């Protein structure tokens, strides 16, 4: 099968969150199953060095105000199609935000252009290669199904994947003229959403199937609490909505070979983790304490992640003699409040504001537990890294967290299947109780180590999920081939 992915970020090249991890890893798993995958991405500055080694496959004189080219490059085990358009993607700041931290004003055009090219390559192919299926990710690729539909041509089936419905790409209705979107689809059954152009909305309405990144999130999305205004549309398309759990790249995230770790380790040499923990104690200025766990957080600092609640639970952590180290960035106010906690509890709480891939690996390799008190979590990858590294996930029971962590309740402990701690509802009180439970479990060193080994043995790679995607894609290709319209 020839598969075209369209997305706005991809690890290890450009990453703001889990979307990049997924786009950087699932193509490899699909290739291992014998398929050919190409990933269309904007050629941000990070791709400049790679473009030099690629070939120009497509040239456009005018893509919304400037020329553009598509380069085909093989990099880090991936087939990339890089959309180079200086006026849209060649700039400083982050990929979505300007130097002041505001969304780039022309984001609707930047990602409209990405979607347009996704549809064009879907219809005509590139460099002699033609996709049989198009896989579009999040609102940035939401207009791919829209452009495919408005072409009126025989198009390959398109699957829209929702990684986070909180980000919908809603823009002023006038943008449709600039983007050349047809009036015929500007209605509630198409890409119109309460007088706006809805990128994700259009993608959901006009794709052949919709996937999201965990089975529990797929059911949560149908409710007003989690659907964020799109629950009605999703309910009407419920038969076409599937939840497929994310996997992680088992080569990049391997505690036995990870070059970022001070000391790599295996389930048989867990004592080697001590060196990683000592590194973290030095780095964050934390006092050692063998009796209580070291918790970590590696996250965007936002209310989605429930990290405002954790601020209130820090005194509980400290009272138990446990420690907390935090790596993250996001809401300015929350960043300040975390820094204030580090000042209030020196030796117990350490905070680093910013993004640091290398440190995130070290934290997974040296902490005892990873905290994720998310209010909603479509899948979550940090708990999967945690399982793989024996860093016990302490998570809210929602979305992918509910699907990937087995709570250490009495029954699970007796039947020896627990891999972490879950709590619900997402409140400070429940989080406090989860922290107490974790500290209690930690005291029983032998069973804690057994739980670590069990966590490390969990299947967190792409094997079974890649097969589910491949089966879904294949069934759509077959269905479309037998249809007469
Ligand atoms: P989301 O995509 O909602 O942010 P995920 O758990 O799916 O949440 O993925 C987050 C990804 O970003 C993980 O790979 C995590 O390690 C990484 N990450 C988040 N914050 C940081 C940070 N400050 N430094 C390094 N990596 C981070
Ligand atoms: C989103 C979600 C996160 C998920 C990631 C990758 O960023 O917030 O839960 O793991 O996408 O699918």
> Does 185 share its domain with 274?
no
Cis peptide before 38 (omega within 30 of 0): no
Residues 298 and 443 in one domain: yes
The answer to whether the CB of 82 falls within 8 A of the CB of 50 is: yes
Ligand 1 atom nearest 328 alpha carbon:
23
* Ligand 2 lined by 164 (C-beta under 6 Å): yes
Asked if residue 85 is part of any domain, the answer here is: yes
Is a pLDDT exceeding 70 seen at residue 107? yes
Residues 35, 169: one domain? yes
Q: Is the pLDDT of residue 483 over 80?
A: no
The band of 258, judged by pLDDT with boundaries at 50, 70 and 90, is very high
Residue 140 sits at the vertex; the CA angle it makes with 50 and 469, to the nearest 5 degrees, is: 85
Residue 124 has pLDDT above 80, yes or no: yes
The answer to the question of residue 296 being in a domain is: yes
Distance 164 CA to ligand 1 centre (A): 13
| CATH number of the domain enclosing 293 | 3.40.50.2000
Ligand 1 centroid – CA 247 distance (Å) = 14
Which of the four pLDDT bands, split at 50, 70 and 90, describes residue 101?
confident
Following DSSP, what letter does each residue of 73-99 receive, concatenated?
Answer: EEETTEEEEEEE-HHHH--SS-SSB-T
Residue nearest to atom 14 of ligand 1 (CA): 18
Which residue(s) pair with 162 in the sheet?
212
Atom of ligand 2 minimally distant from the CA of 374: 9
Q: How far is CA 215 from each of CA 25, 392, 400, rounded to the nearest angstrom?
A: 20, 22, 7
> Looking at ligand 2, which residue's alpha carbon is closest to its atom 10?
380
298 alpha carbon – ligand 1 mean position (Å): 6
Helices (H) and strands (E) in the chain, counts: 20, 18
Domain contains 350: yes
Pick the atom of ligand 1 nearest to 11's CA.
Answer: 14
Interstrand relation of 241-243 and 196-198 (parallel, antiparallel or unpaired): unpaired
pLDDT interval class at 91 (50, 70, 90): very high
125-178 pLDDT, tens digit each: 999 999 999 999 999 999 999 999 999 999 999 999 999 999 999 999 999 999
Given a cut of 90, whether residue 235 has pLDDT beyond it is yes
97 domain residue, yes or no: yes
- At residue 485 the predicted structure's pLDDT band, cuts being 50, 70 and 90, is low
> Which residue, 33, 399, 387, is CA-closest to 212?
399
CB 137 near ligand 2, within 6 Å? no
What proportion of the chain, given as a percentage, has pLDDT over 70? 99
Among 8, 161, 164, say which to mutate for ligand 2: greatest number of ligand atoms within 8 Å of CB: 164
Q: What share of the chain is helix, strand, coil (3-state, %, to 5)?
A: 45, 20, 35
**SS3 at position 54:** coil
Residue 18: the pLDDT is: 96
Task: For a ligand 2 pocket test, name from 5, 7, 17 the mutation site with the most ligand atoms within 8 angstroms of its C-beta.
Answer: 17
Q: What digits encode the pLDDT tens for the residues 205-225?
A: 999 999 999 999 999 999 999
Work out whether strand 196-198 and strand 192-193 pair parallel, antiparallel, or are unpaired: antiparallel
Q: How far apart are CA 308 and CA 338, in angstroms?
A: 9
Write the pLDDT tens digit of every residue in 221-230: 999 999 999 9
Pick the residue whose CA is nearest to atom 12 on ligand 2.
163
- Please report the pLDDT score of residue 287 as a whole number: 97
What's the order of all strands across the beta sheet hosting 196-198? Answer: 170-172, 196-198, 192-193
| 265 is a domain residue | no
Number of domains in the chain: 2
Does 227 lie in the same domain as 109? Answer: yes
Residue 242: its H or E element: strand 241-243
Question: Whole-model pTM?
Answer: 0.97
Binding site membership of 247 for ligand 2 (Cβ less than 6 Å): no
* Residue 144, H or E segment: helix 143-151
Cα angle value 221/223/228 (rounded, 5°)? 65
- Residue closest via CA to ligand 1's atom 20 equals 299
Statement to judge: residues 376 and 450 lie in one domain? yes
Classify residue 204: in a domain, yes or no: yes
382 Cα: distance to centroid of ligand 1 (angstroms): 7
Residue at 82 is within a domain: yes
Domain enclosing residue 323, as ranges = 270-457
Indicate if 220 and 274 belong to the same structural domain.
Answer: no
Q: In angstroms, rounded to a whole number, what is the distance separating the alpha carbons of residues 192 and 201? A: 8
- Is residue 22 within 6 Å of ligand 2 at its C-beta? yes
Average pLDDT over every residue of 329-346:
97
Q: How far is the CA of 357 from the centre of ligand 1 (A)?
A: 9
Of 117, 37, 46, which is closest to residue 83 (Cα–Cα)?
117
User: What is the best residue among 141, 370, 378 to mutate for testing ligand 2's pocket, by most ligand atoms within 8 Å of CB?
Assistant: 378
- Atom number in ligand 2 closest to CA 21: 6
Q: Please tell me if the CB atom of residue 244 comes closer than 6 angstroms to any atom of ligand 2.
A: no
Query: 44 with 164, same domain?
Result: yes
Pairing of strands 158-162, 55-60: unpaired
User: Is it the case that residue 457 has pLDDT exceeding 80?
Assistant: yes
Ligand number with the minimum distance to the CA of 260: 1
**Long-range contact pairs involving 151-155 (C-beta distance under 8 Å, separation at least 24):** 151/119, 151/123, 153/123, 155/119, 155/122, 155/123
User: Which of ligand 1's atoms lies nearest the C-alpha of 22?
Assistant: 7
Question: How many Å lie between the centroid of ligand 2 and the Cα of residue 388?
Answer: 18
How far apart (Å, rounded) are the C-alpha atoms in residues 222 and 237?
10
422, 357: one domain: yes
- Å from CA of 440 to ligand 2 middle: 31
From the CA of 166, the nearest ligand is 2
In a domain, 258, yes or no: no
- Within this chain, do residues 81 and 133 fall inside the same structural domain, yes or no? yes
- Are 328 and 215 in a shared domain? no
Give the per-residue pLDDT at 482.
Answer: 78
462 CA to centre of ligand 1 in angstroms: 18
Cα distances (angstroms) measured from residue 206 to each of 102, 148, 300, 441: 30, 9, 31, 49
CA of 356 to the centre of ligand 1 (A): 10
DSSP string, 293-326: -EEEEEEEESTTTTHHHHHHHHHHHHHTT-EEEE
Kindly report, residue by residue over 359-388, the tens digit of the pLDDT: 999 999 999 999 999 999 999 999 999 999
Q: Are residues 239 and 299 in the same domain?
A: no
Average pLDDT across the chain, whole number = 97
Pick the residue whose CA is nearest to atom 26 on ligand 1: 357
| 341 shares its domain with 234 | no
Residue 284 CA from chain centroid, whole number? 26
pLDDT of residue 32: 97
Q: What is the pLDDT of residue 484?
A: 52
């Amino acid at each position: 099968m020839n598969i075209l992915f369209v997305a706005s970020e991809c690890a290890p090249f450009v990453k703001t969150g889990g979307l990049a991890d997924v786009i950087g890893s699932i193509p490899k798993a699909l290739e291992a199953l014998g398929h050919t995958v190409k990933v269309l991405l904007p050629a941000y500055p990070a791709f400049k060095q790679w473009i030099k080694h690629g070939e120009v496959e497509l040239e456009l004189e005018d893509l919304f105000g400037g020329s553009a080219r598509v380069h085909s490059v093989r990099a880090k085990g991936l087939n990339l199609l890089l959309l180079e358009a200086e006026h849209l993607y060649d700039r400083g700041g982050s990929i979505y935000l300007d130097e002041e931290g505001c969304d780039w004003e022309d984001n609707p055009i930047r990602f409209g252009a990405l979607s347009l090219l996704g549809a064009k390559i879907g219809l005509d192919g590139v460099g002699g290669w033609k996709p049989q299926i198009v896989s579009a990710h999040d609102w940035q690729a939401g207009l791919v199904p829209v452009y495919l539909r408005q072409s009126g041509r025989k198009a390959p089936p398109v699957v829209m994947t929702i990684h986070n419905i909180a980000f919908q790409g809603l823009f002023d209705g006038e943008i449709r003229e600039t983007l050349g979107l047809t009036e015929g689809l500007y209605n509630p059954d198409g890409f119109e959403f309460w007088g706006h152009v809805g990128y994700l909305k259009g993608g959901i309405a006009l794709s052949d199937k919709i996937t999201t990144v965990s089975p529990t999130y797929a059911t949560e999305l149908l409710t007003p609490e989690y659907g964020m205004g799109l629950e009605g549309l999703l309910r009407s398309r419920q038969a076409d909505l599937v939840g497929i759990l994310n996997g992680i790249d088992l080569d990049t995230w391997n505690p036995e070979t990870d070059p970022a770790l001070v000391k790599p380790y295996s389930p048989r040499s867990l004592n080697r983790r001590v060196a990683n923990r000592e590194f973290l104690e030095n780095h964050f200025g934390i006092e050692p304490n063998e009796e209580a766990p070291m918790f970590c957080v590696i996250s965007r600092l936002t209310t989605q992640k429930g990290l405002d609640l954790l601020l209130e639970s820090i005194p509980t952590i400290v009272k138990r003699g446990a420690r907390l180290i935090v790596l993250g960035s996001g809401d300015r106010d929350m960043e300040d409040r975390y820094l204030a906690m580090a000042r209030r509890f020196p030796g117990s709480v350490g905070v680093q504001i910013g993004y640091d891939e290398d440190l995130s690996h070290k934290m997974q390799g040296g902490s005892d537990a990873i905290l994720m008190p998310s209010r909603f979590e479509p899948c979550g990858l940090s708990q999967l890294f945690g399982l793989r590294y024996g860093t016990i996930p302490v998570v809210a029971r929602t979305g992918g967290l509910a699907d990937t962590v087995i709570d250490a309740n009495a029954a699970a402990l007796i039947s020896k299947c627990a891999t972490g701690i879950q709590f619900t509802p997402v409140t400070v009180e429940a989080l406090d109780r989860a922290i107490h439970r974790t500290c209690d479990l930690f005291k029983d060193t032998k069973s804690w180590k057994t739980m670590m080994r069990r966590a490390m043995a969990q299947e967190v790679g792409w094997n079974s999920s890649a097969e589910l995607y491949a089966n879904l894609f294949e069934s759509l290709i077959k269905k479309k081939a037998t249809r007469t319209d």
